[in-house]
Amino acid sequence: MKKPDFETSLKELEEIVEQLETSDLTLDETLAKYESGIKIYKQCYQILGKAEKRINILLKNSHGDTRTEEFNLKKSDDMESSAIEGE
Amino acid sequence: MYDSVPDIDTNQETQEVFHKRNTEKFFTVSEITRQIRTSLEYKFSDISILGEISNVRKPSSGHIYLTLKDKNSQLQAVVFRNVANKIKFELKDGMEVITFGSVTVYESRGQYQLIINKVEPKGVGALQLAFQQLKEKLGKEGLFDQTHKKPIPFIPQKIGIVTSPTGAAIKDILNIIDRRFANVEILIYPVKVQGEGAAQEIAEAITELNTLTDIDVIIAGRGGGSLEDLWAFNEEIVARSIYNSRIPIISAVGHEIDITIADLVADKRALTPSEAGELVVPRKDLLLDMLEKLETRLLQSLTGKLRLSKDKLVRIANSYAMRQPFDRLRRWQQRLDEFAQRLKLNITHALNNEREKLSGIAGKLESLSPLNVLKRGYTITTRLENNKSLREVKGLNKEDKIKTSFSKGSVISKILFIET
């Protein structure tokens, strides 16, 4: 499945808006343009929200097999700050 | 190599034998060679020599043979493989170098030579020179060509990061990405970013990430450091892995002033790891804002168009040209109503006439009804089998059944005889 390209879609949406604003379209044409514009708008919105936040680190054992584990950047910071706070 | 204590003992014995036979004293070739060697090694060990490299030979053994020379003299020299592997730059004819090592004798040829343990180019650091050399070599091969550079995806779904999981770079990169576009998937491939084996690990990581199907872009880098610290990113193996990567790569090595070979090969160079975070994802809030504005404009242009169309319609409807046909229509309608009224009157009149005529006919019809005749005492005779009325005896036979209907009731009789 081909991923919808945000940049292209956005440009398309811009063009539609500009056409609607500047050219003398019939009412039918206007409605059709509006509909396809809204469709692209929804697609763009979906792309922005599609991926989930997930940070993994790849780990290898001595046999060279790999697995992934959640990576926590805050670990060392937390330790430092808790040490400062004297917990 | 050939030197052992018992061997020397044997030679000493031999010497003594010769001493006895001849009063003349002499050395064997091996012995004198060894003595020369010992004295040379004693006198000329761990020395620095400046010279110009010439006649470099690199056989498959991995050792490097060369001649050091100046205007008047030449000195044979050898760099053994274990040392040669550590030299970052390439030894080339004509290069002025400062060598560190010891003079020794290659006994089987009776030649003295310099064993080089370390070599540095004169006037420029070894690493700078190595950088220049590799840059020139890879440049000629086309590894830095703009045409080979792949575009960085605008919104990646999954980002691979090749760096140390404990360094400053990963922290910076993750912070910036989180601020700009938090919902993105990241896979960290942890590697050594400096020291022995770092370049191999980085190159392997890039190659392996390329075997995954879902990585859209790779960031490879590390935080700032000395030229030695950053060196892995100047190694040929890393440069080639970047060049061969199917996935676009953003390099993020050190600070802005540190340009590495990796930066030159990468599809995009980030000046710092933080900048890599900025290059790899757009600001989501700005995109959302842009989208919202476009949607508003979309809606406004539609409502604007609708309002315009409505206004136009109203204007047309109120125009004289449009009103006129309506007026005529109304006049026609009025006339039509009149006609209809008149038609209705006419029809009612006609209908009434017809109705009167009809009731006159009905009266006549009634007086002719056979039922009235029966009331006056007549009967109707029919043949029983087909209920046909009989007007004469013709066609009837003895024993036929006939039905005689009276004004009220009827009888069925059998014919006894027929009179004509």
Residue-level pLDDT at B384 = 84
B365-391 b/e with 16+ CB inside 10 Å = b?
A: eeeeeeeeeeeeeeeebbeeeeeeebe
CA distance A83 to chain B (A): 19
Interface touch A31/B284, C-beta < 8 Å: no
- Which of chain B's residues have a Cβ under 8 Å away from the Cβ of A71? 165, 186, 188
* Residue B58 near residue B64, CB atoms below 8 Å: yes
Strands A66-70 and A54-60: antiparallel
CA distance A87 to chain B (A): 23
Residue A17 in 3-state DSSP? Answer: helix
Residue-level pLDDT at B315 = 84
Domain B131-282, CATH: 3.40.50.261
| pLDDT tens by residue, B343-367 | 788 778 878 887 877 777 777 677 6
Among chain B residues, CA nearest to A10: B291
Interface touch A30/B302, C-beta < 8 Å: yes
Residue-level pLDDT at B4 = 44
- Asked whether residue B278 carries a pLDDT value surpassing 70, the answer given is yes
In chain B, where the domains are located: 5-124, 131-282, 373-414
Interface touch A47/B155, C-beta < 8 Å: yes
Does A68 reach chain B within 8 Å, measured CB to CB? yes
Q: Give the pLDDT band (50/70/90) at residue A83.
A: very low
Does B345 reach chain A within 8 Å, measured CB to CB? no
Distance (Å, whole) CA B220 – CA B245: 12
- Selected from 3.60.20.10, 3.50.50.60, 3.10.129.10, 2.40.50.140, the CATH number assigned to the domain covering B5-124 reads 2.40.50.140
In chain A, where the domains are located: 1-87
- The mean pLDDT value of chain B amounts to 88
- Phi/psi-derived region of residue B77, left when phi > 0, alpha when psi is between -120 and 50, beta in every other case: beta
Distance (Å, whole) CA B245 – CA B213: 13
- The mean pLDDT value of chain A amounts to 77
* Residue B220 near residue B266, CB atoms below 8 Å: yes
- The ipTM is 0.76
Instruction: Give the DSSP letter string of B151-185.
Output: PPPSS-SEEEEEE-TTSHHHHHHHHHHHHH--S-E
Among chain A residues, CA nearest to B312: A27
Residue-level pLDDT at B11 = 59
Among chain B residues, CA nearest to A57: B188
- Which of chain B's residues have a Cβ under 8 Å away from the Cβ of A44? 287, 291
The values of phi and psi at residue B419, to 5°, are -110, 135
Residue B7 in 3-state DSSP? Answer: helix
- Which of chain B's residues have a Cβ under 8 Å away from the Cβ of A21? 297, 301
Does A52 reach chain B within 8 Å, measured CB to CB? yes
| pLDDT tens by residue, B153-203 | 999 999 999 999 998 999 999 999 999 998 899 999 999 999 989 999 999
Identity of the residue in A14, A47, A52 whose CB atom sits nearest the CB atom of B185: A52
What percent of chain B is predicted at pLDDT more than 90? 57
